[in-house]
Amino acid sequence: MIEITNYVDGERRQGYSGSFAAKTTFLEKEYTLPDSSSVDIADALGSAAQAHDQTARLSFQERKEIVQRAAESFVPTKEHLEFVSAATGMPLKYVRDRMIVGAHLLSSLPDICAERYGIRNNEFLRPVGKLGYELLCTAEGPVCAFLPANDPVEAFFLYAHAVLSGQSLVVKPSFAEPLTSTILAEAIMNAGYVRGGINVVHWNTANVARKNLGAELYADSAIRIIMGNAGTLQSLVGERARNVVEYSAGNTASVVFADADLECAAKCIVQSAYGWTIDCVSTKSVVVVGKKTRDDLVERMTRLLSHKKVDHPLHDSTDIGYASAPVVSSIEELINGQVEFGAMKCPMPFGRLSEVQMKPVLCEVSSLNSPLFNRENPYVVSLFVCADERDLVQAMRTLSDGLPARKRMGLGVYSGRDVSEQVSFLKEARAHMIFYNVPTTNLNFALRHQDTFLSDALLVPISVTK
């Protein structure tokens, strides 16, 4: 049994209202969490508010040293790695890789920000056209944040930006994977961040007595960051959309142009789609320009996928792990009922391996409205062929029109042309994030974010600024 606590005002706390027991989605690892009440939320917010003046006064150099010390000291245990794998279904080797990516983000982000913005008197200057990472934090605080369970890097991403922008933070992780956020908060505080600068609270969102806690946390914070889940956003925001940063990509698609390096495109798409089975910022839908491009890309992807091993997530040889039983069943039903959505071709044989696993599915659909195409289905990568580039803008509009308000489509673009030559298409695509000739999972991208078109041919993401 793993006991996970709140982390408030620089110390572990059990909470005032007892705890509740839970099991991971997979492999039945048991753990307990505080079932926090309004008192716990008020404590965390009070701690963050009290810390805010001190965190804001830290120099950039001090903030940089804190996150870099945290990166050096953060060494996940075997128990921690296996917990994340059991919570998400992500193969253990990818969990390990994502922790390495997270630590690298902590250590490298300060220099990326300094290079992109320049530093004068410990304040960021205007962007200078360098690639970097994106999350907008202003001087106002404290911040509350809601994190999803699907990728441990989300916590690193959030905490690094919060510390570098001198913010105080209250975090509510998903109770499906609450461990990484809590351990990382303690590591950053131990690295020297102001006491109360990062606070983590947990509660059972299935408990009707706790249903208003998210709204309380939202209402009493200055900036709200909601990562990943549109349902969470809609339930909390309603008409109160002031100072909300939603960091989520909606559906994520890729466009492969005829002039693309197809071997590179195939590798990137496979890496993104099948690095794990869970929904994340990953490519599940691919729009291909021209039948010849489609044929060549399918041949390359089929070869790459034939070497992927689908197995138990904790086995080091596993490339593709688990998805929940209802999700796997729904995919099987969609595949069997695909006649409703038009013709479907499957270059690879597919089949259900167990209650929580399938072989990877690569298919071509004839309709952009097929649920196999426009949803982020684990195990499935679907292709749609446009006759030529003139059809692309309408295809992108069709894919993005059905997304909820404040969610945009993520877009991977594979082309031999320079990104500056694609600006007109990228503007029309109305994408939330744009990845150019790289996997969507590598966190190094150019983008449009929350309806703000970015300068320098989309090569300057928003980053930490005051």
d(CA 252, CA 433): 9
DSSP for 78-129, please give it: HHHHHHHHHHH---HHHHHHHHHHHHHHHHHHHHHHHHHH-EETTEE----S
Q: What is the mean pLDDT of the chain?
A: 81
| pLDDT at residue 275, rounded to an integer | 73
Nearest alpha carbon to residue 182 among 164, 155, 219: 155
Nearest alpha carbon to residue 31 among 94, 99, 98, 79: 79
Does position 108 have pLDDT exceeding 90, yes or no?
Answer: no
Hey, what are 173's tokens?
């992780």
For 187, how many CA atoms within 13 A lie in the half-sphere containing its CB?
23
**Residue 248 — pLDDT band, cuts 50, 70, 90?**
low
Model confidence over 203-226: pLDDT tens digits? 998 888 888 888 888 888 887 777
Hey, what are 463's tokens?
């980053």
| pLDDT at residue 245, rounded to an integer | 63
| pLDDT at residue 462, rounded to an integer | 32
Model confidence over 3-34: pLDDT tens digits? 999 999 999 999 899 999 999 999 989 999 99
d(CA 302, CA 296): 10
Task: Residue 402: count other Cβ atoms within 10 Å of its Cβ.
Answer: 12
Task: Residue 351: count other Cβ atoms within 10 Å of its Cβ.
Answer: 9
DSSP state for residue 308 in the 8-state scheme: P
Distances from the Cα of 303 to the Cαs of 8, 49, 298, 299, 308, in angstroms?
50, 55, 8, 6, 10
The region of weakest confidence among 91-95, 215-219, 266-270, 458-462 is: 458-462
| pLDDT at residue 343, rounded to an integer | 54
Domains parsed from the chain with CATH numbers: 2-247 (3.40.605.10), 252-448 (3.40.309.10)
- What is the total residue count of the chain? 466
**Residue 134 — pLDDT band, cuts 50, 70, 90?**
very low
Cis peptide before 439 (omega within 30 of 0): no
d(CA 273, CA 304): 12
Nearest alpha carbon to residue 377 among 271, 310, 280: 280
Distances from the Cα of 400 to the Cαs of 50, 130, 251, 307, 411, in angstroms?
42, 28, 8, 33, 10
Nearest alpha carbon to residue 112 among 132, 134, 135: 132
- 194, 52 Cβ separation under 8 angstroms: no
Give the residue-averaged pLDDT of 410-421: 85
